[in-house]
């Protein structure tokens, strides 16, 4: 019997799940792009320092330019077996000075997939409401200069919960096969921080459309500021027309906060 020329051809490439944190400001998004910096390319370049490439990794979700992650999840296939801790440490060494960190690493079965095995994604959004320019939170929040009525925003958000056709809140370049999604949670809370009052949005769904979260937040900010009534959100939703959406808010307050799997690989 002849030896296998490569582990890949014989199906022996160990697969690892990576929990990834990053600051999105320097990047054109998660997805690799030919002429711009991306988080995916940064991690793949770090992997190539450990084993000759090319390397292609897959993620639970593709974040846009300027969007951050607290706990993105990706997977990679390696030619040799690595101790997960040593692999994460080696990747973090080679990721410097990019603002990307591997928080955890775990060996997973070869049929485990960061995107297709996921049950739910969680997003978090920070909206700062103060007149003075932000300094320490610059690039990490969306700032507006007026107070917001959180109660009215919650009334408007209630119309978005459940299964709907979210065409109104979907980017015109969204590649999803269907605009129908189920929003499991959209919680809004007022938080007093040292930097000023913030409104935090917590969203959960199996999957999201392109720009869906930022469309929600931009629309609900209009409700909180009094330009829209809470029932106007329902009217916009039922219109199934992108033109009925409120403004899409900027990306810097948005974070991919977590991904849920049937069995947490990092436990």
Choose, from 35, 64, 110, 231, the residue flagged as catalytic: 64
What does each C-alpha distance from 37 to 115, 140, 148 come to in angstroms? Answer: 22, 19, 35
- Cβ-contact 202, 185 below 8 angstroms: yes
> What percent of the chain is helix, strand and coil (3-state, nearest 5)?
25, 30, 45
Place of tokens 């935090």: 200
- Sign of the dihedral defined by the CA atoms of residues 69, 36, 207, 57, in that order: negative
Q: Are strands 254-260 and 120-129 parallel, antiparallel or unpaired?
A: antiparallel
DSSP code per residue over 139-181:
TTSEEESS---HHHHHHHHHTT-EEEE-GGGS-TT---S-SEE
Q: Give Dmax over CA atoms of the chain in angstroms.
A: 75
64 is catalytic: yes
Residue of 161, 131, 158, 163 lying closest to 144 (CA atoms): 131
Taking the C-alpha atoms of residue 186 and residue 76, their distance in angstroms, rounded to an integer, is 32
Tokens found for residue 74: 């990706």
Tokens found for residue 21: 């944190």
Q: What residues act catalytically?
A: 64
């Amino acid at each position: 019997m002849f030896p296998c020329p490569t582990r890949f051809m014989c199906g022996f490439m160990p697969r690892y799940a990576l929990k990834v944190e990053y600051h999105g400001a320097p990047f054109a998004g998660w997805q690799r792009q030919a002429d711009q910096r991306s988080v995916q390319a940064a991690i793949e370049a770090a992997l190539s320092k450990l084993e000759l490439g090319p390397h292609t990794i897959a993620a639970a979700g593709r974040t846009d330019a300027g969007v951050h992650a607290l706990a993105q999840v990706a997977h990679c296939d390696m030619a040799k077996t690595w101790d997960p801790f040593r692999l994460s440490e080696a990747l973090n060494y080679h990721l410097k000075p990019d603002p990307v960190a591997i928080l955890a690493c775990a060996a997973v079965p070869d049929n485990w997939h960061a995107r297709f095995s996921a049950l739910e994604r969680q997003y978090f959004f920070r909206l700062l409401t103060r007149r003075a320019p932000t300094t320490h939170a610059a690039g990490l929040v969306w700032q507006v200069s007026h107070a917001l009525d959180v109660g009215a925003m919650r009334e408007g958000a209630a119309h978005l919960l459940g299964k709907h056709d979210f065409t109104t809140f979907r980017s015109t370049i969204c590649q999803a096969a269907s605009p129908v999604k189920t929003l499991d949670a959209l919680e809004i809370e007022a938080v007093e921080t040292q930097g000023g009052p913030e409104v935090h949005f917590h969203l959960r769904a199996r999957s999201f459309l392109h720009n869906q979260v930022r469309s929600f937040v931009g629309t609900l900010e209009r409700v909180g500021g009094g330009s829209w009534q809470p029932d106007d959100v329902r009217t916009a939703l039922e219109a199934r027309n992108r033109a009925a959406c409120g403004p899409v808010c900027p990306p810097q307050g948005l974070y991919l906060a977590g991904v849920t799997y049937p069995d947490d690989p990092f436990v």
